[in-house]
Amino acid sequence: MVARPRITHVIYDLDGLLLDTESINEAVNRAIADRYGCAYDPAVRGRIAGRDAHTSSAILVEWLGLPISPEEMLQQRRSLVAQWQPVAKPMPGAVELTHHLHRSGVPQAIATSSSRGPFGWKAAPHRDWFRLFHCTVLSDDPGVRQAKPAPDLFREAARRLGADPRHCLVFEDAPAGIEAARAAGMSVIAIPDPALARSSVAQADAILPSLQAFEPADWGLPARVPAAVC
C-alpha cells in the first residue's frame, strides 16, 4: 500500500461540503426553468457541480433549452440565491471537524468557486465559525485566473497558507473540485452529493459519506477527542 503523505494543512470546498447550499441551488434552477415553461432535468446537477457561476449558467441555458442568454441566467440565479442562501446550514460534521482541527493547531482554508458577492451572502450567518479559517480563496480573487477544474484556487490557498501542496488535504464534493485538487498536487477526500454517480469521484484518494465519518488520525492529524460520558 502506498504511504500517505504527511498532512499539515486542510482545505475545504464550500458549497455542498461545508454548507448545504446545493439543495437551494437546485430549487433556484428549477424555479427559473419553471418560469420559462422548460422541464428541469436533474441530470444537469452533475454537470454544474463545482463549476463557477458563469460556467454553470451557460451549461444550464444549453442543457435546459432556456430562451435567455447565459448572462441573463446568471443574473436571475444571483437574485434568487441572494434571497434564499442565508438559510444555508452547515453540512453534517462540518462545524465539529473544523473546530477540532482549529483547537489542534491545524491551519485550514476555504477554496470555493463562489465569487465575492455570493460568498458574502452565504457566510454572513456563520461569521464566528468562518473566523476559524486562515484564509478564503474565491473565484474572482486576483490570484485565481481559472476556476475549477483548473488548480488555481487550491494553489492560491496553499500559497496563502504557506503550505507545500503535497502536504495539503482537500475535502470536495464535486468532480470538478476533485480534478482541481489532484492537478494542484494535493490529496483529496470526496464527500459526494448522493445524486452523483460514485464513478464521477473515483479520482479521490478516499470517498466518505460525510465529514462526520472522517477520522483525522488516519491521515496523521490529531485524533478526535471522545465525548465525555456523564
Q: Which of 13, 152, 173, 193 is catalytic?
A: 13
Q: Which of 15, 152, 193, 205 is catalytic?
A: 15
CA 43 to chain centre: 19
β-pair type (108-111, 9-12): parallel
Catalytic residue at 205?
no
CB 183 within 8 A of CB 149: yes
CB 100 within 8 A of CB 74: no
- Cell for 94? 462540518
Q: Mark out the alpha helices in 6-124 (DSSP H runs).
A: 22-35, 44-48, 53-64, 70-84, 94-103, 116-123
C-alpha to C-alpha distances, 57 to 63, 144, 148, 167, nearest whole angstrom? 10, 20, 15, 34
Q: Which of 7, 6, 2, 49 is nearest to 29 (CA)?
A: 49
Q: Look at the block and give the residue holding cell 444571483.
A: 78
Q: How is the beta sheet containing 9-12 ordered, strand by strand?
A: 135-137, 108-111, 9-12, 168-172, 187-190, 206-207
Catalytic residue at 13?
yes
Catalytic residues: 13, 15
